[in-house]
Structure formats: structure tokens, C-alpha cells
A and B are shown apart, each in its own frame.
Chain A
Amino acid sequence: MSLAELLVASGIMLTLTGAVGSVLVRAQFSFRVQPEVADMQQRLRVAASTFGRDLLMAGAGPAFTAQAGSLVQQLPGVAPYRRGQIDDVRAGVFYRPDTVSVLYVSTTRAEADIERTIDTGRELLVDAAPNCGALAHERVCGFTTGMRVAFFDARGAFDLGTVTRVAGNQLTVLYGGALSSSYNGGAVVAEVVAVTYYLRPDGVSGASQLVRYDGFLTDRPVVDNVVGMQVEYFGDPRPPRVLPAAAPGDPVRPITSYGPAPPAGSADDPRDLWGAGENCVFADAGGPVPRLGALGGGVSPVPLDPARLRDGPWCPDAVHPARFDADLLRIRRVRVRLRVQVAVAAMRGPAGRLFAKGGIATSAELFAPDQQIVLDVTPRNLGGAP
């Protein structure tokens, strides 16, 4: 081979080697980045699935008790603060933009009307109306030790507890702190799911974790490396209405379109501060008049201003330890924006549009930008959807 041939051959090989090297480097970048991108997608899927399942059920009420039907008649199925044994309301916090609580009665037989209760200061002894049918009329069915239950009444009073003993028709329920109300005839005890999703700062990653609080003692991480969560609420624009009694043969209807029904016959409920014939959503002016105004002239859900969710009127009343803003009863749709980042700082560039929190990546080919999901859920039991 001549010198010229050698030079040409060397040139060809160098070019080829360079091209091969370039392809391999790109492939190496790709193979490093793609698993991390897939991991972000997987985390978003987990969040959407977990959120979606709970939010979809929000507001489901008991089916067999005197207060059967959606919780929207008494309680907010969705609330923008932490709710449970560790409770934002008792700390005076009524809104957090990155927190959402969900409450619904489980689809089990564990629900019963309360006949009377005795408060021991730590536990509530509940005499419940038998709920097993004609074959076992001296006991309650469905309740087991360790079960999470809620007490609530038609005014919107509400507390959580854990069943510690079941004997005949008596339940012993351990509650944390102090009860917000007393529960006797007319109230309900039922197994519930009462969870809160919120962001908890994570010292390891510098980002946050999406956490599911079980309303009792446990905060369980759902997704790591979350850099943004924002919850928006859409609500019924119409004021609450008292619905006419159903005609014979009609399906059973709730008494109001949402919110507690006003005391019958202009009676006064001595347990709250409202006047005779009034409660947190209805005043009395010779008949029930809604305290909540119209939000525009439409009939479909509209965005709810966060300020509206913490300015009252309060249910059951303004001094109740577990009070809530009556506008929470309007909520018909929830929108959650969740943004996650890649776990590896070497795949994050400078903070900006692509990255909420900057990293140490020096090559754009190693960038794995933050990913976001926008999740809308219309809870099926909040009156807005069949």
C-alpha cells in the first residue's frame, strides 16, 4: 500500500470511528436519560391513580341509615386542608393550595344510626341501632376492631375515631384529642375513608413528597421528587335550595340541593349559635333563605376563589371546633396539577421553565425536564354527576 493509500485509508477509518463514537455517546446519553423519564411518567401515573380513586369516591354517604345519601347534605366530601387526628382546622388553618382532604363512607355494612353515647373523655361508648336485619336484631354488623369510623349529624358536626371494641349493639370508639360535638339520636356512625394528600418537604432530595395521610397516625409517601402541586376547586354556582317533598312514587330525594336542611317549623337548634329556623346555609325570613349567593348566572360548576373557601358562613357555627366554610359544600370538581422532577441532579439543568429546581447537568443531551400532569375529577357523589 502506498503512502497515499495509507493516508486515505486512515482518513476513512478516522471518520468512521468518529461517527461510531458520536452514535455511541448519543446512545449512552439516551440510555441514561430514558429510564429516568420513564420513572417520572410512572410516578405521575401512580399519583393520578391514587388521587383519582379517592377523589372519585369523595362525598359518598351511608346507604342504610336514616341519613342515607350523599355527604353533601351534611359535610364537605372535599376540603382544602388537612383533616383527621392531626387537624388544620383546630390550628386555625382553613386553606392550603397544595393540600386536599377526601372523606367518604366505605361501601361496607359498617354504618348505623346512633341511639345514645357516653363520653368517657377518651373513648365514646356508642349504643347503635341494630343494622343486621331481622335475624340478629340485638347487635350491629360490619364493625370490627381497628376500623376507622366517623360520627356525624345532620348539622355538619363531625369527628373521627377508631373502633376498639364491638359487643352486641355497643361500639367503643377511641378518639384523639377532644370531640368537637356530642352525638346522640339522629347522628350516624359509619366506616369511612378520611385521607389527606399534601406535599411534605424531603430533606434528601430537596424537593417534596406527595404524602397520603390516613386521618389517624400514618403519613405514607406516594410519590417522591414532587416540585409542585396545586389544587383548584370548581363549585355549584347556584345557592342551596330546599327541595319540595317527593310525590308518592318518586325516587327518594335529598331535602336540600346541598347543605344541612334548616330546622323544621322554625324551631331552634340549641346546639348552635344560629337563630330559630336557621343554620349555616339557610336564614329564616318567613321561610328558608340561602346564605350563599349565586356565582354568576350559569348552572355548571365555576372556579371557586380560594378566599371564598375560608370566609364563612361556618358550619355548624362559627365557634364549633371542627367548623368548615359552607362554600365547601358547593365543590363539584377538583383539578390537581402535579409536577415531578427527575431524581438525578445530573439530569437537571438550570432552574427555569424546564426545571423548577436546578441541577448540575452541563449537557442539554442529558436534560430530563420536569413533567406535569393536570388531573380533573368530578366526584360522583357530590351532586354534579350521576
Chain B
Amino acid sequence: MRSLGSPRGFSLIEVTVAAAVLAGAVLSAAQLFAVATAATVDARTAGEGTVLAWQKLEQLRSLAFTIDEAGQPITDTTTDIAAAPERTFGGTGLSPSPVWALTRDTPGYVDYLDARGVSLGGGVQPPDAARYRRRWAIEALGGPNLLVLRVRVVPVGGEVEAARVVSLRARRLP
């Protein structure tokens, strides 16, 4: 390569190589921007996912799981909290879920949400506007009076979970 003081200047190849080096450097820097943006999006996804998971857990906690005045257990097995708006019939309530409920979209144990966290209802396929799928599982623990409630939120189009929460629910006296 000639020195900067050379009267012949630079060849086209030299200019091209220099431009390629510069382009590589700029692209590397641009990748940093992309990484920073992706980190912000990940943080947002995790934050939204946690709120959505807790929201479903609170819905599950509000369903009847008690004992009536005659001492008989009452368990809600009909409320459809996958529907939007939720209904008192046609759902699974606190019925035990299939073992795959957290890994596959299972009617009665999944709903879909848009980017604002608004439920779009359940089903086996997410609607076009869905950004998150929210699955939940219900399992009896050591008898009929204690439930394990698990909720998992996954962005639509991926299987890397945004959030997962677990809680216990004990049957309540009237």
C-alpha cells in the first residue's frame, strides 16, 4: 500500500477494502444497538409475562374451593376463565389438568393475550393478534383439599417462557 503522501493516490481495490473494513466496523456497532434493543424487549416481555401469570393465578384463587355448611366440599369445575369475558359455565374451573397442560395448548387451560395484556379467549390456535399464550395447570396434592396451581406465559411464536409462577391453594372453611 502506498503512503498517504504518494502522488499516485489509492487504487480502487484499496478504496474497496477500506470501505469494507469501515462497513464491518459500523455493522459491529449496529449489532450493539440491536443487542441493547433486544435486551429491552426481553425485559419488557419478562415483566409483562409475570403480571399476566399472576393475573391468571389470582383468577384461579378466586374460584370456589371451600366446604359448605353441611361439611360437603365445593369445588368450581365449570367456570370458564379461558373465555373473554369469563363465563360461569362451559369451562374447567379448578378441575385437574392433563399433565401436558403447561407444554401444549389445551382447551380450558390456555388463553391468548394481545400486546396490551387483554385476553382474546382460549382455543387450540392463537388468534392473529395474540402476542402471548398463557397456560395453566391444576394438580391435587396429597388429597382433595390442596391444589398446586401453575401458570406459564410464553410469547406466541416461541417456546422460551416469559414467566412461570406456582402457588398452593387449600380448601377453605365457610
Contact = CB atoms under 8 A, between A and B. Distances in A.
A372 B88 CA distance: 26
A155 to B, nearest CB: 22
Given A41-B47, A386-B170, A8 B30 contact: no
Interface string B47-85: 100010011101101111000010000101011000001
B33 A372 contact: no
Interface residues of B, number: 48
A13 interface: yes
Contacts of B19: 12-13, 16
B15 to A, nearest CB: 4
A173 B36 CA distance: 56
Interface of A: 1, 5, 8-9, 12-13, 16, 19-20, 23, 26-27, 30-31, 34, 37-38, 41, 44-45, 48, 234, 237, 241, 243-244, 251, 253, 257, 296-303, 332-333, 371-378, 383-386
B76 to A, nearest CB: 5
A375 B76 contact: no
A238 to B, nearest CB: 9
Interface of B: 8-12, 15-16, 19, 22-23, 26, 29-30, 33, 36-37, 40, 43-44, 47, 51, 54-56, 58-59, 61-64, 69, 74, 76, 78-79, 85, 88-89, 93, 116-118, 169-174
A244 B169 CA distance: 25
Contacts of B118: 372, 374
Nearest to B23: A16
Contact of B88 (A5, A253, A298): A298
A121 to B, nearest CB: 43
Contact of B64 (A20, A26, A299): A299
A385 B37 contact: no
